[in-house]
Amino acid sequence: MYSGPGVKTSPDFPIPDTMKAWVLGNPGELKRAEKPVPVPKRAEVLVRIDAVAICATDLEIIDHGPPASILGGMPFNKNFTPGHEYMGTVAALGPGVDEYKIGQRVTVEIHAGCGQCKRCREGMYTSCHNYGLNYGDVDKGHRANGFTTDGGFCEYQVNAINTLVAIPDAMSDEEATLVVTAGTAMYGLTELGGLVAGESVVVTGPGPIGLLGVAVAKAMGAYPVILTGTRDNRLKIGKELGADHVVNVRNEDAVEAVRRLNGGKGVDYVVECSGAPNAVNEAIRMVNRGGKVCLAAFPHGETPVDVAHIVRNNIYLYGIRGEGKSATHRAEAFMSQKRFDATKIHTHTFPLDDLPTAIRYAKDRVDDAIKVVVKAKGAAAHRVAAE
Ligand SMILES: [Zn+2]
Ligand SMILES: [Zn+2]
């Protein structure tokens, strides 16, 4: 019988003692496992995972390790379950939780800061100074599910209530998995100044964050919004999400094209989502003097940057990590009010049992895959109900 000190459950949501989970073995190797269903503590709930989207960062973690960090080191062969872009249904409440109800649909953001360090106290919980410290004598209570603690490629997970975002019934499971991606784009625009109405914005790189960056910038009234990239099919989706102009950088110089499209001037903001080797140098030439550049992609390796150009032109550079400053809630507000259709970037759905196939689609962009979702909805609950 599933239970824990002070934990509330409901007969409507039977919870098994164990669940199906995928765990990371050696680099690139995901294995099936049976794990105990985790038990929520104070200020936490148990979420029955209904759908989880695959992110490029998951592929990075599965093959190479970072940015995941388990017990202070590489995540391999530690019974670690990756996956961080999930949504589901509240299935049990930890002691004292009255903010959510059993049966309520939620999506999650990733970072639950420690709540006690300088940055958490400033609301910058994605920059928590106790990042990854959640074990042994250094347990500060920090959690980043799918990065430093178990994530969503399984049937249930425990989440701090400050990582939950309530969603309306009208939002599909698949769409709800995209809220955190839109939240990352929203955080980038928040750091650039927030009030971007009437300001010119370039988004470089039409991956999921870039495409939803276009959608969020348009929803906030930016004009013009210019998207640059190399794949015409993705640039087309960018147009559907509201880009005023798209530039295929295989056909023309990205910096010249941006200046031409904005009346010969640089733009106010660039959100860099490509991670391309020369992306920073191009971005600092796309912005006007005093412009701001937000870096939202993880590039491989180090890149030389023209610092003199940045200093001479008073250009601001920001690195962002994740979906900070409650940006996920603002992104969800736009999505539930149908200010943009994030489902345009969802291309494929597989059952949780087929996770390796889903990962292959995401990694090799099989059939022009962008966002691939896996669904586990209720399988474990059905098993327990049948017992
Ligand atoms: Zn992600
Ligand atoms: Zn902290």
Q: What is the mean predicted confidence (pLDDT) over 281-301? A: 94
What confidence score (pLDDT) does residue 61 get?
97
What confidence score (pLDDT) does residue 194 get?
87
pLDDT reading at 79 higher than 60: yes
pLDDT reading at 274 higher than 60: yes
Q: What CATH number was assigned to the domain covering residues 18-110+145-166+341-386?
A: 3.90.180.10
Report d(CA 201, CA 166) in Å as an integer.
30
What confidence score (pLDDT) does residue 334 get?
98
Pairing outcome for strands 105-108 and 85-93: antiparallel
173-219 per-position pLDDT tens digit: 999 999 999 999 999 999 998 899 999 999 999 999 999 999 999 99
Instruction: Report whether 25 contacts 77 (CB < 8 A).
Output: yes
What confidence score (pLDDT) does residue 377 get?
66
Q: How far is the CA of 381 from the centre of ligand 1 (A)?
A: 27
Half-sphere exposure of 382 (CA within 13 A, CB side): 5
Q: How far is the CA of 310 from the centre of ligand 2 (A)?
A: 31
What confidence score (pLDDT) does residue 384 get?
53
Q: What is the mean predicted confidence (pLDDT) over 54-68? A: 96
What confidence score (pLDDT) does residue 380 get?
55
Ion ligand 1 residue ranges (Cβ < 5 Å): 55, 57
pLDDT reading at 298 higher than 90: no
Q: What is the mean predicted confidence (pLDDT) over 79-97? A: 98
Q: Tokens 């049976």 belong to which residue?
A: 34
Q: pLDDT band at residue 378, thresholds of 50, 70 and 90?
A: low
Is cis: bond before 67, omega within 30 of 0?
Answer: yes
| pLDDT top residue among 107 and 265 | 107
113-150 per-position pLDDT tens digit: 999 999 999 999 999 999 999 999 999 999 999 999 99
Q: How far is the CA of 95 from the centre of ligand 2 (A)?
A: 22
Report d(CA 231, CA 273) in Å as an integer.
14
pLDDT reading at 161 higher than 90: yes
236-260 per-position pLDDT tens digit: 999 999 999 999 999 999 999 999 9
Note whether 18-110+145-166+341-386 and 184-319 share their fold: no
Class for the domain spanning 184-319: alpha beta
Considering every ligand atom shown, identify the ligand nearest to the alpha carbon of residue 132 and give its number: 2
What confidence score (pLDDT) does residue 90 get?
98
Which residues 6+ apart lie within 8 Å of 282 measured at CB? 204, 254, 255, 276
pLDDT reading at 287 higher than 90: yes
What confidence score (pLDDT) does residue 379 get?
57
Considering every ligand atom shown, identify the ligand nearest to the alpha carbon of residue 328 and give its number: 1
Average pLDDT value for the chain: 95
Considering every ligand atom shown, identify the ligand nearest to the alpha carbon of residue 55 and give its number: 1
Considering every ligand atom shown, identify the ligand nearest to the alpha carbon of residue 119 and give its number: 2
Q: How far is the CA of 308 from the centre of ligand 1 (A)?
A: 33
Q: pLDDT band at residue 373, thresholds of 50, 70 and 90?
A: very high
What confidence score (pLDDT) does residue 188 get?
97
Q: Which of 156, 148, 155, 174 is nearest to 57 (CA)?
A: 148
Q: What percent of the chain has pLDDT over 90?
A: 94
Instruction: Report whether 210 contacts 203 (CB < 8 A).
Output: yes
What confidence score (pLDDT) does residue 252 get?
96
Q: What angle, 0 to 180 degrees and rounded to 10, lies between the N-to-C axes of helices 208-219 and 232-240?
A: 20
Considering every ligand atom shown, identify the ligand nearest to the alpha carbon of residue 82 and give its number: 1
pLDDT reading at 385 higher than 60: no
pTM value is 0.94
Q: Which of 336, 290, 296, 333 is nearest to 315 (CA)?
A: 290
Provide the residue ranges of all domains of the chain, joining segments of one domain with +: 18-110+145-166+341-386, 184-319
